[in-house]
A = this chain, B = another copy of it.
Amino acid sequence: MKILEERIKKDGVVLEGEVLKVGSFLNHQIDPKLLKAMAEEWHESFKNEKVDKILTIEASGIAMASFAAYEFGVPLLFAKKSKTANIGDDVFSTDVKSYTHGTVNHVQVEKRFLNKGENVLIIDDFLARGEALKGLIDLCNQAGAHVVGCGVSIEKAFQPGGRELREKGYKVESLARIKSMNGQNSIEFC
């Protein structure tokens, strides 16, 4: 997606350890017009599939997934990273390791919101090793829901997550696929 790639080149910041910071427009401060355009792009990719629900994980996925849910005309469900009073006791849960943050989150959704036979499109901001998407797929599997595919904003294609998911047969639509980045002004897209 041209405008996303251009925005990453313009406003993304590459740090050591292959970290790409996009906090000025994607996951801390957010450009709603860009996210709406991304949602339209995912809708275009999955418009021939039956989608009953969008699933994402808090917090960075919520904004873009909200626009996607609006585009598809279906509810959005976001997996919570911790047990809060907002969530009931009857949950599907899974552990998601974050290499970026150096943490493991015990991620959960209420069982009543993820149902057998539902067609679920998973949305998230980043795909690197694929831990978050695999966790969300695991939640769907526990529920007996069908994973229609995954819509990703930025895929680090030099890391194995995207390849692994596609080899397993999942349709993964990444709007920007980074081939390599070795310091600022060195980002190359696939």
Q: Which residues of A contact B (CB under 8 A)?
A: 19, 21, 23-25, 27-33, 35-36, 58-60, 62-63, 66-67, 69-70, 73-78, 80, 84-88, 100-102, 109-110, 112-113
Contact = CB atoms under 8 A, between A and B. Distances in A.
A144 to B, nearest CB: 18
Nearest to A55: B29
Nearest to A70: B32
Given A21-B86, A32-B69, 6 more contacts: A19-B85, A23-B86, A24-B112, A24-B113, A28-B86, A29-B75
Stoichiometry, as copies per complex, reads 2
A39 to B, nearest CB: 10
Contacts of A67: 32, 66, 70
Contacts of A69: 30, 32
Given A75-B31, A76-B30, A85 B101 contact: yes
Contacts of A76: 29-30, 32, 63
Nearest to A66: B63
A81 to B, nearest CB: 8
Contacts of A60: 86
B63 A29 contact: no
A32 B75 contact: yes
Given A70-B36, A101-B85, A29 B62 contact: no
Contacts of A29: 75-77, 110, 113
15 contacts: A23-B110, A28-B77, A28-B86, A28-B87, A30-B78, A33-B73, A58-B58, A58-B59, A58-B62, A59-B78, A62-B62, A62-B66, A63-B78, A66-B66, A66-B67
Contact of A84 (B84, B87, B101): B101
